Structure 1
Amino acid sequence: MANKINTRSKPTAAKAQKGNGLAKSGLHRRNPHQGRYDMTALTQVLPALKQFVRLSPRGEQTIDFANEQAVLCLNQALLAHYYKVLYWQIPKGYLCPPIPGRADHIHHISELLAKLNQGQVPTGSKVKLLDIGTGANCIYPIIASQSYGWSCLGSDIDPISVNTANAIVKSNPVLSGKVQVTLQTNPKQYFKGIIAGDDKISLTICNPPFHSSLEQGYQGSQRKWQNLNRNKGKQPGVTQKAKPQLNFGGQQAELWCPGGELAFVKGMISESCQFAEQVCWFTSLIAKGEHVRPLKKYLSEIGAKQVEVLQMQQGQKISRILAWSFQTPEQQGAWQACWQ
């Protein structure tokens, strides 16, 4: 018989914003990326960004988000300004992530630990985060280590991603001793070979590949590019010559896998029960809302003690994080001693 699960979901944006740490923008209140980008401040920290800055129809400074070089340069400026990361470069064709949304993910899952620490997010290197599929951009470990001082471990099945992420770490003194990225040599494993026998991981995080095939990935990216080009046509001096690409880069492991998001997360859940005592909270971003119900059902079947669905909102976009633990709230209370 399956164990009874403590499940808590936040079904609407209004309810999520009320009492869940959200600012009026919908972003988490600790997310520094509120409102419009401060292009003046960003171009001061990275003058190269100036070449991509243009005026919107409203006369506000912006960039062409259909230009991958402009987006890359914007990310470099954001990382330099907010996180003191002065060197950040990814190989051509690799995923260039939206930093405000990735930061929101970190701040939302931090609340899981705050509930165990008198409402305060625990900080410092004794809090350990594991990022499954960290990618060449290493974005989650960067944000988590610089926002809360956490010790971050990333894993990836792609050697180029691992080498690039570690090069970013080595090139930025603020990341030294706080971030390490390891190669997962078995692409069918998630935690095995990464979590050592004496490790105590406070949180795991994952942004899983949500397409089930390369073709599906191209179709999704083509729709995105069509939307971007539609907006470009409204901006003065911008030509419409962008072509469909995979979400401003992205390798197979970053964007698609057999069975897509549902199969990937189900596999991660299946393996996670083997690390029930070593991990306080497991989490994963869920892109498709229809996947939440079957995943919660599967968690019940394998004996998870707690399941939460955290809702994030950025503008009109609403996404969700699935969080689970094989420990009761009483058992999790012992984790506070690990953070002292």
Structure 2
Amino acid sequence: MPSTTTNKANSTRPYYQGDVDFDVLAAQDPDFSALCQRSKNKRWIDFQDPEVVQQLTRSLLKVDFGLKIQLPDDRLCPPVPVRWNYVRWIQELLDTTSEEYSETYDQDRDVVGLDIGVGASCIYPLLACSSRPEWRMAGTDIDPYSSEYARRNVEANALSKQVRLVMSKSDAALVPVDAMKVEELDFLMTNPPFYDSHEDMQESYVGKDAPSSAVCTGAENEMICPGGDVGFVTRILEESLQLRERVQWYTAMLGKMSSLQQIVAKLKENGISNYAVTCLQAGHRTKRWAVAWSYRDYRPRNDVARHGDLVHAVLPLPTAQSIAVPLMSAAWAGNKVDGVLSKLEVKWMWRGRSATGVMEARENVWSRAARRKKQFDSPDVPGSRGSKVKEDEQEPATVGLAVKIYCKEEVVELRWLKGQDHVLFQSLCGLLKRALTGRD
């Protein structure tokens, strides 16, 4: 399956899944075709040639996204597939964690993001803002030389109204929301230096049977920083503990699985349970990972929160559960679910035609203990101390749990939309499972 497409600037363009099809790309771009070589009727390129690697990046941006960039010879040349996969993942994070509980791209949502370390290419703001014209991004960098190239690339693509570039200092805050004079951000992203030192960088190649997949032209500040990628992202984590909900999603790319494991451990140490992870692999050459965390309680869709090839130890809590209902129709299951939830003191929005509904609850009102308390508090019970909940008071002021329920043939699917308590989500799943199947 070719990795290129003629649908440029597509707001929902899919992830790159496999290696770039050089035959398809060469047919679409003569500049790339001129640098390809042939062997046994198959095109290939020399990934150790800086000119060829740069042309591959320029051609993919041109063909797949309608973008053009200028790159210096002594700064990083970004591989497009992994970079786009990172942007696409952030799009899905935002699409599945909105106040409207939507699962799709909302063209009316005004999104503001930050790229920490834009580099000379400025590739992340270019990809993000060209694919979603209503998005705006700020980009920071500590290197004046790279920043000048980034500015040229923004202007060359007529994105100056959407992308704002800011010079930073190595000892300044990495997330400068106050300096930017913004109250909050929808997301931040960063592709930090992976290595702690020159020795660390050299050791990364020890034991490998082949040289690196592509020549590296990165400057020292792009490749090395104190603590490497873990140290850099830890700085962002520490700042996020102060900023908290002022950024909906803090995200970062990481160079090694071990780095991802260390950052996930730090999130758990700080009591952050709403996080997501992904493997950004595109083809067989480059594998990277990314992590995102949020202090808000909107939960991403399960395939977004646990995206790609990952080890079990880094996975966040699941945000979906399925209940098998053998031999039962969607209509039967829907009537059963509607009957159960309509009797509870929750906000229940049921759409019978599509057999879907959304439930919001302040707290657990379905357990035995909750039912006993309700009975004790009822004014109809002699000696009780409560009063009936009025119809217009059923909408919860504070949502402790929001769940979307899909009733299908032989299965009911529950999607955790909002809340900090996974046990509460599991408890509701248990209630419906007992009602649908008669089993715990």
Look up the match of 2:114.
130
CA distance in 1, matches of 2:124, 2:207: 26
Whether 1:103 and 2:84 are equivalent positions in the alignment is yes
> Counterpart in 2 of 1:52?
35
Residue 285 (structure 1) aligned to one of 243, 247, 253: 253
The answer to whether the aligner puts 1:68 opposite 2:36 as a matched pair is: no
Counterparts of 1:190 and 1:217, CA distance in 2: 23
For 1:124 and 1:83, the matched residues in 2 are separated by: 22
- Distance of aligned partners of 1:221 and 1:93 in 2 relative to their CA distance in 1, 3 Å threshold: farther
Mapped pair 1:328 → 2:309:
no
* Contact residue 304 and residue 327 of structure 1 kept, 8 A: no
Contact 2:177–2:183 under 8 Å retained in 1: no
Change (3 A) 1:102 1:24: same
1:154 is paired with a residue whose SS is strand
Between 1:35-44 and 1:140-149, the stretch displaced more is 35-44
Shift of 1:66: 1.3
Q: Which residue does 1:91 correspond to in 2?
A: 72
Contact 1:125 / 1:151 at 8 angstroms: preserved in 2? Answer: no
C-alpha distance in 2, partners of 1:139/1:107? 13
Give the match's secondary structure for 1:153: strand
Deviation by residue 1:23-55 (Cα, 9 ceiling, x = unmatched): 999xx971367553354555654x333331111
| Compared CA separation, residues 293 and 82, structure 1 to 2 (3 A) | closer
Give the match's secondary structure for 2:253.
strand
Q: Say if 1:283 and 1:324, in contact at 8 Å, map to a contact too.
A: yes
Using the TM superposition, give the Cα deviation of residue 225 of structure 1 relative to its aligned residue in structure 2, in angstroms.
10
In the alignment, which residue of structure 2 is the partner of 1:18?
none
Query: How far, CA to CA, are the matches of 2:66 and 2:237 in structure 1?
Result: 35
Report SS of the residue matched to 1:277.
Answer: helix
Contact 1:182 1:194 in 2 (8 A): no
Q: Aligned pairs, how many?
A: 289
Contact 1:303 1:326 in 2 (8 A): no
Give the structure-2-normalised TM-score: 0.58
- 1:199 Cα offset (Å): 3.8
1:216 to partner: Cα distance: 2.9
Mark the CA change 1:273 to 1:144 in structure 2 (over 3 Å): closer, same or farther.
same
Contact 1:132 1:154 in 2 (8 A): yes
**Displacement of 1:282:** 0.4
Aligned in 2, Cα 1:178/1:223: closer, same or farther, shift over 3 Å?
Answer: farther
Residues in 1 aligned to 2:179 and 2:273: alpha-carbon distance in whole angstroms: 21
Asked if structure 1 preserves the Cα contact closer than 8 Å seen for 2:120 and 2:149, the reply is yes
SS of the counterpart of 2:279?
A: strand
| C-alpha distance in 2 between matches for 1:159 and 1:129 | 21
Does structure 2 retain, via aligned residues, the 8 Å contact 1:93–1:248?
Answer: no
Pair 1:158-2:143 in alignment: yes
User: CA shift at 1:301, angstroms?
Assistant: 3.7
Q: Does 1:259 align with 2:259?
A: no
The answer to whether the 8 Å contact 2:193/2:229 transfers is yes
Match of 1:182 in 2: 166
2:137–2:162 CA contact under 8 A, matched in 1: yes
**Does structure 1 conserve the Cα–Cα contact (< 8 Å) formed by 2:2 and 2:21?**
no
1:203 maps to which of 182, 187, 202: 187
Task: Give secondary structure in 2 for the equivalent of 1:293.
Answer: helix
Q: Which runs of 5+ in 2 are unaligned?
A: 4-11, 299-398, 403-440
SS at structure 2 position matched to 1:122: coil
Give the C-alpha shift of residue 158 in structure 1: 0.9
Change (3 A) 1:61 1:294: closer
Please give the root-mean-square deviation of Cα atoms over the aligned residues, in Å.
Answer: 3.2
TM-score, normalised with respect to structure 1: 0.74
My pick for the range that moved more, 99-108 or 74-83, is 74-83
Post-superposition shift, 1:208? 1.4
1:113–1:122 CA contact under 8 A, matched in 2: no
Output the CA distance in 2 between the equivalents of 1:321 and 1:123.
25
Give 2:347's aligned residue: none
**Contact 1:124 1:151 (8 Å CA) reproduced:** no
Contact 2:189–2:251 (CA under 8 A) maintained in structure 1: yes
Paired with 2:277 and 2:151, the residues of 1 have a C-alpha distance of 32
